[in-house]
Structure 1
Amino acid sequence: MKCKTKKIEMKVPMNCQKCQQKAFKIIAEADGVTFLGLREERDIVVVIGQGVDACNLAKSLRKKFKTTDIITVADV
């Protein structure tokens, strides 16, 4: 069975450039991530990839940022 490509939007409290780099590093190391970007709000991270687990990704980010909210998970 082929995994579908998913678009995940998460709210991550990033106050500075260093925080943003840490968040991007955590997300980039996740399995299946093919695209990573920010929305205009600057604390909304957009992740696109095949077989990306939104819950595990949020859990990894919460270890570093304390609060991470999953906004949407949609098939692309």
Structure 2
Amino acid sequence: MTQKIVIELPLNCAKCEKKIMAICTTADGVTAFAFEREGRDRVVIKGEDIDPARITECLREKVTKHARLVSVAIDDD
């Protein structure tokens, strides 16, 4: 089962983007990561057995207090 996690957070500067990328790509189970800037700043994470609450909490602690978990979708591939 592959998960698709969407987290909304402000992408203010390159330094913040670098921190976000480091946190998301080093999490267990992550296979793909992308920034999405269509209307709102979002991060899309794909992988298996990912803990979305833990990633969101880590982003809140280390980057911004305004990180918000938008959705978690599961694909049966």
Give the alignment's TM-score, normalised by structure 2: 0.87
Matched residues, percent identical? Answer: 38
Q: Structure 1: which 4+ aligned runs deviate by more than 3 Å? A: none
Give runs of aligned pairs for residues 11-50 of structure 1, distance below 5 A: 11-41=8-38, 43-50=41-48
| Structure 1 residue runs without a partner (length 5+) | none
User: What SS does structure 1 have at the residue aligned with 2:28?
Assistant: coil
Partners of 1:56 and 1:40 lie apart in 2 by 23
Partners of 1:26 and 1:12 lie apart in 2 by 14
| Structure 2 residue runs without a partner (length 5+) | none
Deviations 1:38-68 (A, max 9, x none): 1133620000000001000101101021121
Partners of 2:54 and 2:66 lie apart in 1 by 14
Give the alignment's TM-score, normalised by structure 1: 0.88
CA RMSD after TM alignment: 1.2
Give runs of aligned pairs for residues 58-73 of structure 1, distance below 5 A: 58-64=56-62, 65-73=64-72
